[in-house]
Amino acid sequence: MTSLDLYDYQLPEELIAQYPCERRDGSRLLVLNRDKGSLEDRHFADLPEYLKAGDVLVMNDSRVMHARLLGTKVSTGAKIELFLLKEESTPHKGAAVWEALARPARRLKKGDEVDFGPKLRARVVEKREDGSLAVEFAFDALARGFFEVVEQVGTVPLPPYIHRAADAVDAERYQTVYAREFGSAAAPTAGLHFTTELLEGLRLKGVETHFVTLHVGLGTFRPVQAAQIEQHEMHEEFYQVSADTAAAINAARAQGRRIICVGTTSVRTLESAAVVGPDGQARMQAGWGSTRLYIYPGGRGFAVTDGLITNFHLPKSTLLMLVSAFYDREKVLAAYAHAVKQRYRFFSYGDAMLIL
């Protein structure tokens, strides 16, 4: 068994980025070369220097919902905040059921209703042992869909370590430039550094860009409670891999080209959809499903991922464990110590790391 304490590190609070960098690709980039064991301090705009023609860059196109909803309890007028996590039924005839967190949760019981204005109302269907709720929403039947109403009623759900209210800048910057599939409760933050110009430059260089979808859910917000990392259980998240993306990855692997994932969510999607055949070779399967894949040192390996672009993650987090499994725990923590010394910015709006 492996102690969770092995994935702790000291981070000065002032290094937790509270605002995005002025320009997306102006953030810093710490480059780790696994073969050489080297570190380089660069900027994200320098990324094309490390990618080559034929590389396949895989990005998560999930779009962050305006998942933070402020309303009032119908029976008492008490202020209630709901935070949408995951769709549990397909919206139909002006109704949808979602998993959500509530604050204050103690004020809600099964059957209670919360009003969010003329376009949206919620009813608590179930209170669960993990602290979440199942909530049925009734929304404006004239709207094109549930997400349209939520975009109008809700606000951007900034992470709890960003100690300010979301503003108009966050509505754009806490979203990747290629986001399109609504469903995430938090941004796949490694992708926040890309600009349309940078992506076009990579394509002109011969780098292929392909997309998968993984809707970031409750697991992002729940800390690891187990004292030993092997005892932790991941929360379920929806993912999807298109036939085109699966075919492109399989072709690249057959030709010995690199698969480079943008973010841990892209890694978990590819590794969830990879099937190892009798010949020991992994092939991508197109389709959709739910994953609880938990990648940590000493667990299962990586079947298809050759490179990783990622942000700096919270201490004792499953994301830090995934990165450590991809490289080496001690070397990753040494890189984090270097980043702290060099005053890199951490977490969602922070700087990035490239591991090749």
Q: Mind listing the pLDDT tens digit of every residue in the chain (356 residues)?
A: 999 999 999 999 999 999 999 999 999 999 999 999 999 999 999 999 999 999 999 999 999 999 999 999 999 999 999 999 988 876 556 678 999 999 999 989 999 999 999 989 999 999 998 889 999 998 875 566 888 899 999 999 999 999 999 999 999 999 999 999 999 999 999 999 999 999 999 999 999 999 999 999 867 667 898 999 999 999 889 999 999 999 999 999 999 999 999 999 999 999 999 998 888 889 999 999 999 999 999 998 899 999 999 999 999 999 999 999 999 999 999 999 999 999 999 999 999 999 99
DSSP state of 56: E
Contact 326, 20 (CB under 8 A): no
Fold held by 4-64+171-355: QueA-like (3.40.1780)
**Per the structure block, which two tokens stand in for 197?**
């110009």
The number of beta carbons lying within 10 Å of the beta carbon of residue 176 is 24
Domain-wise residue ranges, the chain:
4-64+171-355, 68-154
Whether 68-154 and 4-64+171-355 are alike in CATH topology: the answer is no
What integer pLDDT is reported at residue 221 of this predicted model? 64
Phi and psi angles of residue 81, each rounded to the nearest 5 degrees, phi first? -110, 130
**Residue 48 in tokens:** 């094309």
Rounded to whole angstroms, the Cα distance separating 60 from 212 reads 5
**Which CATH fold would you assign to the domain 68-154?**
Thrombin, subunit H (2.40.10)
Bridging pattern class, strands 68-73 and 38-43: unpaired
Q: How far apart are CA 282 and CA 303, in angstroms?
A: 6
DSSP-assigned states of every residue in 58-96:
EEE-EEE---EEEEEETTT--EEEEEEEEE-S--BTTEE
DSSP 159-195: -TTS-S---HHHHHHSS-TT--EEEESS--GGGGG--
